[in-house]
């Protein structure tokens, strides 16, 4: 770090010369699923999914729900969405991982604080030219959709499940009214997951090992704690704590503040890596 401070001008020059990563301009597939904690974890997962939808709305991004497995008390087991707009992946790429919540559940009669988790996956959404998928490599199944969604849910085989045989990656979609729409949405998700696997393989082969780098392993890493009793949210990767958790969960300023800091730190990691090659 001392050398970097002494060569501040070189550092800034690299910052200017290094272009934005092409993948940062990608649209995004977002998945949120309940982790440890039973019904409380499902409630928290639902709140996270809603938080991302509100943040997308504030950025004027399009937030299109692909799947939504709701519980009886208002939470979710798992949900996914396609998010399109300007530099979506740039601002959401560091959201992938384990989110931990500490609070007194509504069902807790003795006022005890419980700890629950939810897992988030954020995938860049590639174009068909970037990821080519051959029809012969796909196993496509249809079935009747389950859950809320109107009368068509129980009367037509609109839900679609697609398995990519070479990789074993499977995706499902039942949020749309027609089978064709569900197939198109499922293919977007499948293409994003295959693309992410390719990026992960490239990362392993390269010298980069950034602490903030998104990968398929991020689901096992606790990235953030939401402590409702203390009205704070802490990101463990950068040591940043913000207050006003209610506004944070609405996708408001505290959330934007954390997102911007993560983007800046991610950029610094890239510059630091490049700087080290010139020493």
Interval 200-231: pLDDT, tens: 776 555 444 445 544 433 445 789 999 999 99
**What gap in Å lies between CA 101 and CA 116, rounded to an integer?**
5
Mean pLDDT, all residues of the chain: 81
Specify the DSSP element, H or E, that contains 107: none
How far is 82 from 86, CA to CA, in rounded Å? 13
Does the pLDDT of residue 5 top 70, yes or no? Answer: no
Q: Among residues 96, 115, 93, which one has the least CA distance to residue 40? A: 115
Residues 252, 101: Cα–Cα separation, whole Å: 18
Please list the alpha-helical segments (H only) found in 151-244.
Answer: 179-205
The domains of the chain, with CATH numbers, are: 2-127+207-277 (3.30.70.1660)
Nearest to 84, CA basis, from 57, 119, 121: 57
In tens, the pLDDT along 220-267 reads: 578 999 999 999 999 999 999 999 999 999 999 999 999 999 998 888
Question: In the beta sheet, which residues pair with residue 119?
Answer: 33, 98
Q: Which residues in 70-82 are b (16+ Cβ under 10 Å) and which e?
A: eeeeebbebbbbb
So what's the pLDDT on residue 273? 66
Q: Which residues have C-beta within 8 Å of that of residue 38, sequence separation ≥ 6?
A: 116
Q: What is the pLDDT of residues 26-78, one digit of tens each?
A: 889 999 999 999 999 999 999 999 999 999 999 999 999 988 999 988 899 99
**Tokens encoding 151:** 């009368």
Rounded to 5 degrees, φ, ψ at 133 are -120, 125
| Beta-sheet pairing, 97-103 with 222-227 | parallel
pTM score, two decimals?
0.73
């Amino acid at each position: 770090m001392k050398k970097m401070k002494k060569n501040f001008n070189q550092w800034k020059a690299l910052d200017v010369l290094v272009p934005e990563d092409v993948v940062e301009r990608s649209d995004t597939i977002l998945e949120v699923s309940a982790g440890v904690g039973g019904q409380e974890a499902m409630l928290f997962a639902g709140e996270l999914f809603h938080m991302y939808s509100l943040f997308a709305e504030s950025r004027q991004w399009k937030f299109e729900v692909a799947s939504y497995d709701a519980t009886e008390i208002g939470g979710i087991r798992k949900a996914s969405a396609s998010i399109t707009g300007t530099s979506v992946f740039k601002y959401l790429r560091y959201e992938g991982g384990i989110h931990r919540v500490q609070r007194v559940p509504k069902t807790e009669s003795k006022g005890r604080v419980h700890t629950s988790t939810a897992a988030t996956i954020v995938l860049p959404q590639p174009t068909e030219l970037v990821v080519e998928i051959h029809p012969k490599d796909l196993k496509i199944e249809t079935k009747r959709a389950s859950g809320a969604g109107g009368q068509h849910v129980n009367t037509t085989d609109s839900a679609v499940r697609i398995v990519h045989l070479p990789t074993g990656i499977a995706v499902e979609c039942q949020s749309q009214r027609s089978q064709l729409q569900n197939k198109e949405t499922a293919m977007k998700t499948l293409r994003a997951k295959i693309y992410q696997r390719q990026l992960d393989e490239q990362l392993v082969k390269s010298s980069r090992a950034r602490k903030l780098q998104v990968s398929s392993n991020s689901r096992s890493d606790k990235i953030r704690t939401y402590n409702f009793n203390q009205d704070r949210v802490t990101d463990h990767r950068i040591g940043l704590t913000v207050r006003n958790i209610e506004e944070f969960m609405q996708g408001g300023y505290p959330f934007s503040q954390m997102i911007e800091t993560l983007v800046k730190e991610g950029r610094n990691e890239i510059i630091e890596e490049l700087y080290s090659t010139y020493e």
